[in-house]
Chains A and B, each alone.
Chain A
Amino acid sequence: MISRREFVLGASAAIGVVGAVRPLLGWVTDESVAIPGKDGMIVRSFRFLDLEMPVEYANSFLTPVEHFFVRNHMHEPSTLDAGEWRLNISGEVEKPLTLTLAELTEMEQRSVTNTLECAGNGRAFAIPHVPGVQWEKGAVGTARFSGPRLRDVLERAGVRSTGKHVMLRGLDEVPGKVPAFIRSIPIEKATDGDTLVALHMNGAALTRHHGFPARALVPGWIGAASCKWLTEIKVLDKEFEGNFMNPGYRMPNQPVKPGDAVKVEDTHPATALNVKSLIATPSGGASLKSRAVDIRGVAWAGEANIEKVDVSTDSGATWQQAQLGKDRSHYAWRLWSYSWKAPKPGDYTIVSRATDTQGRVQPDSVQWNPSGYLINVTDRVKIRVQA
């Protein structure tokens, strides 16, 4: 066991007096650190906290919260009192209102099992490299989110016919002159019956890292749409114009060659997730003693459903169809498995390729774009079979 130590300022009173020092909170000096509520995660960054799920944890329909990835653009709220927290709804509405957590809890609750994936998951595979958190495979997870429908919250305020987009703002603490993390979604998605003001995750109250006490849950869409620590909902007559809508989180309108520059006017906001699969086991680099190989993984498709997953054990030369798991829910990944017997000892490359109900198929090469978003290249692992 490696020693661990978190650099935490104990004098909480001092924090309020000298706000400028807040960035030092949570400073971690060792490579191996305990973060309450998290286990075995890949540490992409401590400040701001970005934790990736090791791909071997993609082995269950619901991802335990302790293994669920964390993506923060800035500091998490340093203090959050559920009793004092409020959700304000304003903008193009008849009756601006403020709701308490208790009031949200009293509303009709809806549960949606959703695969949440960071738009930048897989960015590390973009060549030429692009700046940003170098996520590999595990900025993704599936959880059961519960809370009132965003539609019901908006109905209480009465959306005017001029309301076309819904702005979501969280309590992220903004350092320096960084633009606040504010995004918007079209009114059609906001009023979809599966879009939530989520209060619970896998049956328990949201944890701090996942947006306590409330977050948006915009199912099937990039994680950035599901704003954490939600505090403000504003109905707008047009898309929100801020850094995290433009130039942030945009995709080229047309495929581009790796390394090409793209003008912002030739882009559109990233919304729904791509079709994608991961191989959870065996792990890349595994040396197996048995020729009987149990190949397992997950596959998801944003707003679509998974049609099939094909597996190759010869680096893509031939393909066999995997068996899909019984657990299923719209917006959620499917578990898949394929039992294979290696013909002889040696080195093999296993590849997984998902197809969805919209006919989309994972590409066999990275679809490069300047921000490394929505990368969904077929997954592949190299293994050695010994016996």
Chain B
Amino acid sequence: MFVNQFLFLAAVLFCIGVYGVIARKNAVLMLMSIELILNSVNINFLTFAMRNGSTDGHTFALYIIAVAAAEVGVGLGLVLLVYRNKKTISVDDLSEMRG
């Protein structure tokens, strides 16, 4: 089995996603990075489901896909509204804190 390769792929994707969330200023790109993270988790689930020969991982992956879809819907809605109000989607410009 190529379990290692799959896990490695998932880890790489996860890291890219984390990097994106931390380093990117653009809200849409951040959402995309979150998708990457979620999908790297999916790959993990499926890999172990394949290794253990059970369908539980598949079930979880399906749930994650559904939740991710909902999350992107809400997220993009937020981004749209933010853009309408502020004319920018750079997350750093949104902070109104004084700390």
Q: Tell me, yes or no, whether A binds B.
A: no
B residues with CB within 8 A of A: none
A residues with CB within 8 A of B: none
